[in-house]
Amino acid sequence: MQFTINGRAFEADVDIRTSLLDLCREHLDLTGAKKGCDHGQCGACTMLINGRRVNSCLTLAVMHQEDEIITIEGVGDPQGLHPLQHAFVRHDAYQCGYCTPGQICSAIGMLDEIKKGWPSHVSADLSSPVFDDQEISERMSGNLCRCAAYTNVVDAIREVADSAANDRTADEKDKVMADEVMA
């Protein structure tokens, strides 16, 4: 079978039953995505398929040979962190870190859904959802965190979303926050 993952071509000879998650973790040495439940209940395995966030444990690798797959390894690396990765570090948005790759891939997909104007369960007006913390929590509910770092996860995502929206850099935002603390 042939795959395109993080912009690279891979070939693997795997059992037909292999999930996309197991393909990456067990056969391609891409161990960033985690297996929490293997049943679509935790979000630790979240990847982006053609830009959309999905649970990679609940889909077969064989079904995705024509797709562009992005795992956390393709989101950023220590030399070039994605803004969300920066924000997670800055906001201490994890403890053990097991859910983090899934949280970040999910947040990337989620921010794109917001950009497209998609509503959520908590949107009062489905045609023009307002983007607040409650919306982030609802939209990220498919990612569980056993360490309960939720409030910091929301803060980290909020910062990236705001800075994208206001075209304000994260550093300035930090400074504003620091000034507020000093005042």
Residues forming the site for ligand FES (CB under 6 A):
35-38, 40-45, 55, 57, 94-99, 145-147, 149
Size of the site for other proteins (CB under 8 A): 38
The 3 state secondary structure assigned to 139-183 is HCCCCCCCCCCHHHHHHHHHHHHHHHHHCCCHHHHHHHHHHHHHC
**Secondary structure of residue 130 in the 3-state scheme:** coil
Applying CB under 8 A, does 100 fall inside the site for other proteins? Answer: no
Binder among 115, 117, 130, 166 for other proteins (CB under 8 A): 117
Letter for the amino acid at 132? D
**Binding track, positions 124-163, relative to other proteins; x by CB under 8 A:** --xx---------xxxxxxx--------------------
- Give the interface with ligand FAD as residue ranges (CB under 6 A): 40-41
Paired tokens of 66: 């024509």
Query: 49 burial class (0-12, 13-18, 19+ CB within 10 angstroms)?
Result: middle
Q: Return the number of the residue (20 or 114) whose C-beta is nearest ligand FES.
A: 20
Would you state the structure tokens that stand for residue 153, as one six-digit string?
């996860």
Residue closer to other proteins (CB basis): 79 or 127? 127
* Closer of 75 and 173 to ligand FES (Cβ): 75
135: number of CA atoms within 13 Å, CB side? 20
Residues of the shown chain interacting with other proteins in the complex, contacts defined by CB under 8 A: 15-17, 19, 38-40, 43, 46, 52-55, 58-60, 62-63, 106, 109-110, 113, 116-121, 123, 126-127, 137-143
